[in-house]
């Protein structure tokens, strides 16, 4: 049944995506403030809150970066307003200082920080385990095991946050954020919070005087967690073996116990409050058994903290197994029911005899061709990488290209002719390029190019650009401005002129920012391959810091706004494999819109995916690709 996130029907149950459940939990907690930076798998949360912001009388913003988001929430919390902050695991590392400081100062209004981890890095450049940060920053953390818990933990997190005067983290993983299950609604309060007056002697300061308070808040949380309904044991009184699990590991564990038919000998201890661990509660249950398997996503965080507890409790005599040492569960990669079942089978000496669940009968299964990550049809990044690659080849100076994080990260692969020499975190490209560019004084004469997208520019490149300018580093900074945070789903950023709540606002011009920093800036169109190649070539010949903005709107966005031009191949002109071009359009240029017509042995346009950008028209040596109609790009 269809439902609205704002539906006020307590007790009703709906099928919900995890991110919807999280948003709903925040609304049920009566939040009035939400801030986030987009990052899969967390991005939908703020998008949804932004859409209902007017209706629910809340404020929602896509902050310029995660630090801005967390500190904005801290500001709102200072006035007693319940605030939700959302980010992905990499974002949590960006806010490291802010998080540790906020934890020292504490909060006033409830502040819940939802952080979405991406085991196996399905939509990330890397996987990290956010839970270490919670421990390091002394911040209590909850880990939902299903969508219902995701909603309930977020809602309860605000109460806990206010009770402790401390921020609370909720750690999810991709399968929670993007999975769906039934969730029973609670009530959305009608009463709206109003900001409290911040008095002359009110303080929210992060200085070490508050370290004892910080520790005591954590101890208080431990006491509260002892009785938490998010922690329970299910299984025999004295099992041969116990699975201790949290998050998605819980459902996998239930499935494994059932599949192997070992419920009479294996119990499951499910923990929802993974930091600080409810020590007494855990010791009580561990006392029932001699053998423990810990099942959890990413790092052996729970496992090693349980090892700590065991170390402090000599009365426990436990053989502890998990991801540590990789005896039964691999150290790297996302869990799934089979991994957990195999681990349990291994530990219990049982064998799975039931039928494997297959969704397609083997006789009907067709092997999928291997597909590489690539840019969309008409993507301006394809043109940018193409012309940058060829300029570096023409320039013959062995340019070093420092990449960054966004759609264009795919340019490090075939789609971008393997252009990157360097890729780290957001904003690292220009910062590292600044360092390389300083080596000119020691004889380093290779051209240095740093790339960053428009959203990344605002997110984390500005201090680095100032650094590069102030120290006059020898480098070219290329901003790939596609006017979108395209990778995570077109969330607006400060250059767009739109807020998360759909309000228009004055866009910030990247060119003006760059000029104000004192860098001469060139703006060029990546679709003009020849002209822009010459511009890049000339810029590379100049000493010092150069900034180039390659501006062309994301094709997926642009095609929604303009009439599509018709691009087609005049197969009478296309010379097919007789042409010396060696299928240049489909093989080298590689746009998904350029395909090969195997029936006639000539090039062809896939009209379904082609967006009519027309760049390939200028690349065909036979002039066989034609463009007609549509609005000029």
Query: In terms of CB distance, is 203 or 587 closer to other proteins?
Result: 587
How many residues bind other proteins, per CB under 8 A? 21
Give the span between the Cα atoms of 226 and 279, in whole angstroms.
8
Judged by CB under 8 A, the stretch of 172-180, 391-399, 435-443, 510-518 that binds other proteins is 391-399
Give the span between the Cα atoms of 187 and 192, in whole angstroms.
13
- Taking the complex as a whole, how short is the minimal distance between the CB of residue 585 and other proteins, in angstroms? 9
- Taking the complex as a whole, how short is the minimal distance between the CB of residue 40 and other proteins, in angstroms? 32
Of 221-280, binders to other proteins (CB under 8 A) are none
- Taking the complex as a whole, how short is the minimal distance between the CB of residue 15 and other proteins, in angstroms? 49
Q: Quick one: which of 59, 275, 375, 584 contacts other proteins (CB under 8 A)?
A: 584
Closest to 384 measured CA to CA, from 428, 332, 419, 349: 419
Query: In terms of CB distance, is 255 or 534 closer to other proteins?
Result: 534
- Per-residue tokens: 512: 């003006």
Cis amide prior to 41 (ω within 30 degrees) = yes
Binding mask 543-582 for other proteins (x = CB under 8 A): -------------------------------------xxx
Query: In terms of CB distance, is 71 or 528 closer to other proteins?
Result: 528
Query: In terms of CB distance, is 279 or 534 closer to other proteins?
Result: 534
Query: In terms of CB distance, is 4 or 394 closer to other proteins?
Result: 394
Judged by CB under 8 A, the stretch of 11-19, 140-148, 243-251, 389-397 that binds other proteins is 389-397
**276 within 8 A of 216, measured Cβ to Cβ:** no
Of 411-440, binders to other proteins (CB under 8 A) are 417
Q: Quick one: which of 389, 459, 493, 604 contacts other proteins (CB under 8 A)?
A: 389
**78 within 8 A of 110, measured Cβ to Cβ:** no
Q: Match 């191949």 to its residue by tokens.
A: 569
Give the span between the Cα atoms of 84 and 29, in whole angstroms.
10
Give the span between the Cα atoms of 526 and 95, in whole angstroms.
34
Q: Side by side, which strands form the sheet with 33-36? A: 59-62, 33-36, 83-88, 111-117, 168-173, 141-142
Q: Quick one: which of 83, 384, 533, 586 contacts other proteins (CB under 8 A)?
A: 533
Query: In terms of CB distance, is 97 or 578 closer to other proteins?
Result: 578
How buried is residue 11: exposed, middle or buried, by Cβ count under 10 Å (0-12/13-18/19+)?
Answer: exposed
Q: Match 């949290």 to its residue by tokens.
A: 246
Query: In terms of CB distance, is 233 or 584 closer to other proteins?
Result: 584
- Taking the complex as a whole, how short is the minimal distance between the CB of residue 603 and other proteins, in angstroms? 12
User: Would you count residue 390 as binding other proteins (CB under 8 A)?
Assistant: yes
Query: In terms of CB distance, is 548 or 581 closer to other proteins?
Result: 581
Q: Match 């200072």 to its residue by tokens.
A: 78
Element (H, E) at 626: strand 625-628
- Taking the complex as a whole, how short is the minimal distance between the CB of residue 544 and other proteins, in angstroms? 16
Query: In terms of CB distance, is 283 or 579 closer to other proteins?
Result: 579
User: Would you count residue 381 as binding other proteins (CB under 8 A)?
Assistant: no
Query: In terms of CB distance, is 424 or 446 closer to other proteins?
Result: 446
Closest to 247 measured CA to CA, from 289, 280, 282, 275: 275
**DSSP one-letter string for 358-397:** -SS-TTT--PPPP----PPTT-HHHHHHHHHHHHHHHHTS
Q: Quick one: which of 218, 619, 624, 633 contacts other proteins (CB under 8 A)?
A: 619
User: Would you count residue 383 as binding other proteins (CB under 8 A)?
Assistant: no
**300 within 8 A of 343, measured Cβ to Cβ:** no
Give the span between the Cα atoms of 484 and 559, in whole angstroms.
14
Long-range CB contacts (within 8 A, 24+) of 470-474:
471/434, 471/438, 472/544, 472/545, 473/433, 473/434, 473/435, 473/437, 473/438, 473/448, 473/544, 473/545, 474/437, 474/438, 474/440, 474/448, 474/543, 474/544, 474/545
- Taking the complex as a whole, how short is the minimal distance between the CB of residue 411 and other proteins, in angstroms? 15
Judged by CB under 8 A, the stretch of 11-19, 149-157, 546-554, 584-592 that binds other proteins is 584-592
User: Would you count residue 393 as binding other proteins (CB under 8 A)?
Assistant: yes
**CA–CA distances in Å: residue 525 to residues 331, 461, 501:** 46, 21, 31
- Taking the complex as a whole, how short is the minimal distance between the CB of residue 376 and other proteins, in angstroms? 21
Query: In terms of CB distance, is 247 or 416 closer to other proteins?
Result: 416
User: Would you count residue 446 as binding other proteins (CB under 8 A)?
Assistant: no
- Provide the 8-state DSSP code for 456: H
Q: Quick one: which of 325, 621, 628, 629 contacts other proteins (CB under 8 A)?
A: 621
Give the span between the Cα atoms of 348 and 252, in whole angstroms.
16
- Taking the complex as a whole, how short is the minimal distance between the CB of residue 573 and other proteins, in angstroms? 11
Query: In terms of CB distance, is 537 or 568 closer to other proteins?
Result: 537
Strands 566-569 and 625-628, by their bridges, are antiparallel
Give the span between the Cα atoms of 428 and 406, in whole angstroms.
12
Judged by CB under 8 A, the stretch of 106-114, 314-322, 421-429, 532-540 that binds other proteins is 532-540
Q: Quick one: which of 13, 588, 606, 607 contacts other proteins (CB under 8 A)?
A: 588
Query: In terms of CB distance, is 314 or 582 closer to other proteins?
Result: 582
- Taking the complex as a whole, how short is the minimal distance between the CB of residue 185 and other proteins, in angstroms? 57
- Taking the complex as a whole, how short is the minimal distance between the CB of residue 396 and other proteins, in angstroms? 6
Residues interacting with other proteins, by CB under 8 A? 389-391, 393-396, 417, 533-534, 537, 541, 580-582, 584, 587-588, 619-621
């Amino acid at each position: 049944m269809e439902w609205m996130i704002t539906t006020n029907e307590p007790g009703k149950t709906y099928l919900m995506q995890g991110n919807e459940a999280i948003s709903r939990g925040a609304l049920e907690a009566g939040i009035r403030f939400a801030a986030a930076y987009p990052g899969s798998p967390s991005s939908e949360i703020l998008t949804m809150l932004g859409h209902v912001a007017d209706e629910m009388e809340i404020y929602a913003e896509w902050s310029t970066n995660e630090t801005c988001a967390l500190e904005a929430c801290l500001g709102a919390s200072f006035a007693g307003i319940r605030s939700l902050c959302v980010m992905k695991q990499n974002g949590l590392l960006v806010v490291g200082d802010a998080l540790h400081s906020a934890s020292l100062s504490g909060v006033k209004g409830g502040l819940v920080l939802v952080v979405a981890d991406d085991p196996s890095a399905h939509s990330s450049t890397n996987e990290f385990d956010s839970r270490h940060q919670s421990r390091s920053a002394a911040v209590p953390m909850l880990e939902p095991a299903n969508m219902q818990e995701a909603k309930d933990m977020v809602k309860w997190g605000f109460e806990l946050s206010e009770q402790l005067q401390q921020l609370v983290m909720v750690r999810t993983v991709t399968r929670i954020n993007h999975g769906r299950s039934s969730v029973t609604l609670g009530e959305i309060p009608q009463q709206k919070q109003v900001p409290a007056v911040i008095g002359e002697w009110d303080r929210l300061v992060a200085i070490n005087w508050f370290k004892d308070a910080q520790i005591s808040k954590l101890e208080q949380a431990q006491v509260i967690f002892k009785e938490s309904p998010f922690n329970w044991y299910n299984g025999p009184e004295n099992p041969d073996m116990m699975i201790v699990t949290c998050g998605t590991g819980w459902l996998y564990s239930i499935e494994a116990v059932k599949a192997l038919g070992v419920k009479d000998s294996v119990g499951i201890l499910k923990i929802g409050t993974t930091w600080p661990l409810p020590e007494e509660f855990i010791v009580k249950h561990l006392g029932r058994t001699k053998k423990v398997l810990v099942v959890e996503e990413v790092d052996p965080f729970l496992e090693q903290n349980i090892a700590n507890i065991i170390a402090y409790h000599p009365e426990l005599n436990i053989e502890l197994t998990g991801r540590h040492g990789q005896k039964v569960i691999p150290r790297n990669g996302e869990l799934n029911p089979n991994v957990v079942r195999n681990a349990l089978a291994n530990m219990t000496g049982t064998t799975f005899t039931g039928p494997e669940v297959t969704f397609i009968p083997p006789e009907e299964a067709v092997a999928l061709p291997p597909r590489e990550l690539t840019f969309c049809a008409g993507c301006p990044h394809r043109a940018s990488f193409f012309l940058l690659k060829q300029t570096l080849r023409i320039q013959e100076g062995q340019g070093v290209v420092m990449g960054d994080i966004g759609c264009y990260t795919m340019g490090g692969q075939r789609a971008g002719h393997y252009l990157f020499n360097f890729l780290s975190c957001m904003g690292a490209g220009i910062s590292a390029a600044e360092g390389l560019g300083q080596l000119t004084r020691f004889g380093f004469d290779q051209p240095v190019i740093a790339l960053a997208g428009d959203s990344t520019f605002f997110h984390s490149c500005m201090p680095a650009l100032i650094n590069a300018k102030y120290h006059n580093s020898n480098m070219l900074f290329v901003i790939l401005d596609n006017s979108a945070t395209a990778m995570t789903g077109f969330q607006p950023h400060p250059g767009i002129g739109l807020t998360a709540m759909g309000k228009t606002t004055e866009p910030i011009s990247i060119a003006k920012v760059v000029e104000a920093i004192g860098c001469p800036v060139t703006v060029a169109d990546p679709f003009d391959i020849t002209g822009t190649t010459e511009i890049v070539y000339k810029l590379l010949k100049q000493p010092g810091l150069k900034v180039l903005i390659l501006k062309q709107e994301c094709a997926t966005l642009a095609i929604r706004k303009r009439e599509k031009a018709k691009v087609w191949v005049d197969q009478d002109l296309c010379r097919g494999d007789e042409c010396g071009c060696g299928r240049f359009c489909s093989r080298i240029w590689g746009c998904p819109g350029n395909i090969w017509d195997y029936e006639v042995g000539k090039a062809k346009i896939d009209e379904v995916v082609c967006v009519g950008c027309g760049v390939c028209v200028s690349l065909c040596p036979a002039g066989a690709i034609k463009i007609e109609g549509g609005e000029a790009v």
